[in-house]
Amino acid sequence: MKDEVWKRDEVQSPCVKICVVHPEERLCVGCLRTIDEIGRWSRMTHEERAGVMADLPARAPRLRKRRGGRAARLAD
């Protein structure tokens, strides 16, 4: 029975051990999950995890937005 834990078909965590929360988007820059999703991951159902995983690719562009850099600062 104890070996059944290792045979379950679970959605693996997208964590890449780069745990930094983007200050504006409130997403982890490593895995793109919200703090709530990270905290609840171990308690989520298979379907909930699959739903989060399906949403992650659409979140990536939110962290790639340029804020203007040096040119924006000089324009002020």
Q: What is the sign of the dihedral through the CA atoms of 20, 26, 31 and 34? A: positive
pLDDT attached to residue 11 = 83
DSSP summary character for residue 44: S
pLDDT band for 55, please (50, 70, 90 cuts).
very high
Tell me how far apart the alpha carbons of residues 18 and 29 are, in angstroms, rounded to a whole number.
Answer: 7
Look at residue 10 in the predicted model and tell me its pLDDT: 74
Q: 61-75 as b/e, with b when 16 or more CB fall inside 10 Å? A: eeeeeeeeeeeeeee
28 phi and psi, to 5 degrees? Answer: -70, 130
Q: Give the span between the Cα atoms of 41 and 35, in whole angstroms.
A: 10
Q: What average pLDDT does the segment 29-41 reach?
A: 95
Q: Who wins on pLDDT, 18 or 6?
A: 18
Give the residue extent of every domain in the chain. 18-64
